[in-house]
Amino acid sequence: LQLIHCHFRVFSVVDGIRLSDTLHYSFAGQHIEKAKDRELLRLLDVYVFSESAQRFSTMIQKIAFAIENALMNFASELRSAGLTLIGVRVCVAPDLIEYKCGSCGKPLPDAMLPAMDDVLIPLLQMKLGEHCSTWSAEFVFAVIHV
């Protein structure tokens, strides 16, 4: 996992807010992607809202894979609905676990939320026990028809 500092304006795919003071992660030398039934889901970017983000790199990768697995089951529906750029923002604090997802300011279909809950909530609760710090990250995925 390679850390890159952002020196340009980046706006959230989830809800359009400016992602200021973020660190940008690049998975150097590899793509996190999954293909199924002529649909490809690829992680494009991860933006982390924490100065101590480097120590969360393993967790960030695990969360990326979990989100990818949940989204892959809905890739065809997402693409058909024109939701091809997907953002998932994850926030963890000592007393809080939450995530928000969307596509260019539009919410994702309600049918997806139970699948996202199933993969994210247990993983985040497990990781919450290991780290007491507050941190947030936004994961940006693309749904591509191949």
Could you read off the pLDDT of 39-52 as tens digits, one per residue? Answer: 888 888 787 776 55
Q: Which fold has domain 2-145?
A: 3.30.500
Nearest to 60 by CA among 33, 86, 25: 25
> Which residue type is seen at 92?
V
Q: Distance of CA 10 to CAs 23, 52, 85, 92, Å?
A: 11, 20, 14, 21
Predicted TM-score (pTM) of the model is 0.80
- When mean pLDDT is compared across 64-68, 89-93, 105-109, the lowest value belongs to 89-93
Q: What is the pLDDT of residue 117?
A: 92
- Whether 126 contacts 7, CB under 8 Å: no
Per DSSP, which regions of 6-128 are E strands? 23-26, 33-36, 39-48, 85-93, 96-103, 106-107
